[in-house]
Amino acid sequence: MEKATFGSGCFWCIEAMFQRLKGVENVKSGYSGGETKSPTYKEVCSGESGHAEVIQFDFDPTIISYDELLEVFWKTHDPTTLNRQGNDVGTQYRSVIFYHNDAQKELALAYKKKLDESDIWPDPIITEISPLDLFYPAEDDHDDYFNQNENQPYCAFIIAPKVAKLKKVFAEKLA
């Protein structure tokens, strides 16, 4: 198993998508990329901690490759908006890949370059690609959030459509 760490807006959204992929296990919401030691959700939401909301997970590269994970990452959010995904605004919602090794770094940079050259988006991709320094797990009530709160308004109106799109676009990769 290998590890991956991605941020693309609210971690409840990205967790709900990646935990449905074959070969992905132990999806954990958390914080990374900032200065505050052992931050809380409240500190991260303030925008002053420097951390992004991220997920970290294990994956089996014999079942799903890092390139396939990158494909899901880039196709399930807008990587051209700075510090924003939908109504979620702030540096904590930035598009970011925290790589765990040089191979992940090279794959992420190559994929980003390919997307930039394809002109799929009218604006440039601003996704940050940085080495993982520290990952701080979020409070336990953030884990498996969508699955436990599907009828909560944010889940029903924001996350559920993303999960539906994932099921449509990546059906062959779903567990």
Active site members: 10
Q: Under 8 Å CB-to-CB from 67, ≥6 apart: which residues? A: 107, 111
- Decide: residue 144, CB within 10 A, 0-12 exposed, 13-18 middle, 19+ buried: middle
| Cβ(40)–Cβ(127) below 8 Å | no
Half-sphere CA count of 155, side-chain side, radius 13 A = 14
Q: In whole angstroms, give the CA distance from residue 58 to residue 116.
A: 28
The two tokens of residue 22 are 């074959």
Single-letter amino acid code for the residue at 53: E
Q: Under 8 Å CB-to-CB from 117, ≥6 apart: which residues? A: none
